[in-house]
Amino acid sequence: MTRRRKITIFGSIAVIVVGLIVAQTAFRRDRGTEVRIEEVVRLNLVATVTASGKISPKTAVDIASDITGRIVQIPVEEGDFVRKDELLLRIDPTQFEASTARAEAMLSSAKASALQAQANRDQAKRSFDRLADMRNADSNLVSVEEFEQAQTNYAVAQAVWESQDHQVAQAAANLREARDQLSKTILRAPMEGKITRLAVEEGEVAL
């Protein structure tokens, strides 16, 4: 191959390459800038940021049962928004209702016994006071044994009444406790917020 022919071939190749570059540049210019056309409407501008991280609530409350029982109702699901005092969970109240009924009966019985003890005490006091007045008027009218017996009867009646009065207080305390346990079969939202996790299901036993 002569030197002249090589120059001719290289010149042709250079012209072809330059021609391709010019053509590609012209093609790109012809395409222009792509734009998106939409109808003009009023919208909220939202800035979207993609990043990794952990979302932590400003205030988190873990709600747990203070009593043991079978869960019969959970009217909420994870992700639900609840208001303050809204029902979250209900535990079977059967045994707690029975305990409350028994405590109410015990209180009524204790009150009745206390009233009877009070009546006996009052009767014993009247008998003792009557004998005391008679003895003060004339010591011969009432024997020492009779007077001491009346005094003893009054003291015993007073002690019985005090014991029954304590029984009433104890029965009242038991009733308050039973009612408190019954009230805890219903769990309500302490504040408004979103349910992020449910650790139990209906039918399970709350511990």
Q: Per residue in 52-110, pLDDT tens? A: 777 777 788 888 889 999 999 999 999 999 999 999 999 999 999 999 999 999 999 99
Give the model's pLDDT for residue 59.
Answer: 83
Mean of pLDDT values over 6-15 = 47
3 state DSSP class of 201: coil
DSSP 186: E
Cα–Cα nearest to 90, from 116, 70, 66, 110 = 70
Segment 120-154, tens digit of pLDDT: 999 999 999 999 999 898 888 888 999 999 999 99
Give residue 9's pLDDT: 47
pLDDT at 32: 57
Query: What are the backbone dihedrals phi and psi of residue 19, each rounded to the nearest 5 degrees, phi first?
Result: -65, -40
Q: What is the mean pLDDT of residues 166-180?
A: 97
Judge residue 29's burial from the number of C-beta atoms within 10 Å of its C-beta, 0-12 exposed, 13-18 middle, 19 or more buried. Answer: exposed
Residue 10 has pLDDT above 60, yes or no: no
Q: Of the ranges 4-8, 81-85, 121-125, 195-199, which one carries the lowest mean pLDDT score?
A: 4-8
Cα radius of gyration rounded to whole Å, the chain: 47
The amino acid that residue 124 corresponds to is A
Of 18 and 65, which is predicted with more confidence? 65
Read off the tokens for 189.
Answer: 């939202």
User: 24-53, pLDDT tens digit by residue?
Assistant: 555 555 555 666 677 777 777 666 667 777
For the segment 169-192, the average pLDDT, to the nearest whole number, is 96
84 by DSSP, 3-state: which? Answer: coil
* pTM of the complete model: 0.68
Region 162-170: mean pLDDT is 97
Collapse the DSSP code of 72 into the 3-class scheme (helix H, G, I; strand E, B; otherwise coil) and give the result: strand
d(CA 135, CA 156) in angstroms, rounded, equals 21
pLDDT at 17 over 50: no
